[in-house]
Amino acid sequence: MAATDSLSGLFKTGGIMAILIVAIIPVQLFIFIAWPPPESVAEFFALFQQNWLLGLLSLDLLYLFNNVFLIFVYLALYAALKRVNHSAMLMALISGIVGIAIYYASAVAFEMMSLSQQFAMAETTEMKQQLMSAGQTLLVTYKGTAFDIYYVLNAVALLIISFVMLKDTTFSKTTGVFGLVSGVLMIIPSTAGTLGLIFSIASLIPWIIFSILVSRRLFQLSNKTVEK
């Protein structure tokens, strides 16, 4: 009974987290459109001094939460599909969670805010130049190797999960297809120039549909688990 209750809770949590992930997407898009992120260290420093919250949001603050939510979705999907293909789902789970862990190595929002505060208080030109150099290093890290690895590993995780979905009736074929489409579009990181940006934006629609369908099904599985 305890195991049944724990699965019900995991499925319900995964369903909630999938909806939260969907909710974050339009908010982040609105922020990026309404207030395009700065392109230089000096502009980021100025933004943080004017509006620290907008500065953090411009450096993907919401995605720090998004990826925590995604971990619970992965865990719920693993629990729901491991009986179909345990080895594949284990690889997907590891790929996704390792990718997320690597992502946090590329997150620089709070570090940039700290540098901005130090820059505002710096009294010498030399100190300001050092802080500008440190900020430039952070910007390179922000969209560097760690981010690209995170992006590709999560695309791989999504592709594996979607293939497993297509081999079983736990989730609809439609869910699996939308997951595959999104996963294919996510193979090219958003940092890969114009092509990467186009693929990244194009992947959002199938990803949103996939997440909504996954959330609905996880809630259904949660209720069925409780009934048993």
Contact 85, 164 (CB under 8 A): yes
CA–CA separation, 192 and 121 (whole Å): 36
User: Cα separations (Å) of 24 from 19, 20, 38, 51, 166?
Assistant: 9, 6, 21, 20, 27
Q: 17: exposed, middle or buried (C-beta count within 10 Å: 0-12, 13-18, 19+)?
A: buried
Picking from 163, 152, 176, the residue whose alpha carbon sits closest to that of residue 100 is 152
- The predicted pLDDT at position 225 comes to 61
- The predicted pLDDT at position 196 comes to 86
Contacts of 98 (CB under 8 A, 6+ apart): 153
CA–CA separation, 32 and 109 (whole Å): 15
CA–CA separation, 92 and 109 (whole Å): 28
pLDDT per position in the chain (228 positions), as tens? Answer: 334 557 899 999 999 999 999 999 999 999 999 999 898 999 999 999 999 999 999 999 999 999 999 999 999 999 999 999 999 999 999 999 999 999 999 999 999 999 999 999 988 989 999 999 999 999 999 988 999 999 999 999 999 999 999 999 999 999 999 999 999 999 998 888 888 889 999 999 999 999 999 999 999 999 876 555
Q: 135: exposed, middle or buried (C-beta count within 10 Å: 0-12, 13-18, 19+)?
A: buried
CA–CA separation, 204 and 22 (whole Å): 9
Written as six digits, the tokens of 220 are 């259904």
Report yes or no on whether pTM surpasses 0.85. yes
- The predicted pLDDT at position 226 comes to 53
Q: Phi then psi for 3, rounded to 5 degrees?
A: -65, -40
Contacts of 188 (CB under 8 A, 6+ apart): 195, 196, 199, 200
CA–CA separation, 208 and 58 (whole Å): 22
Secondary structure of residue 94 in the 3-state scheme: helix
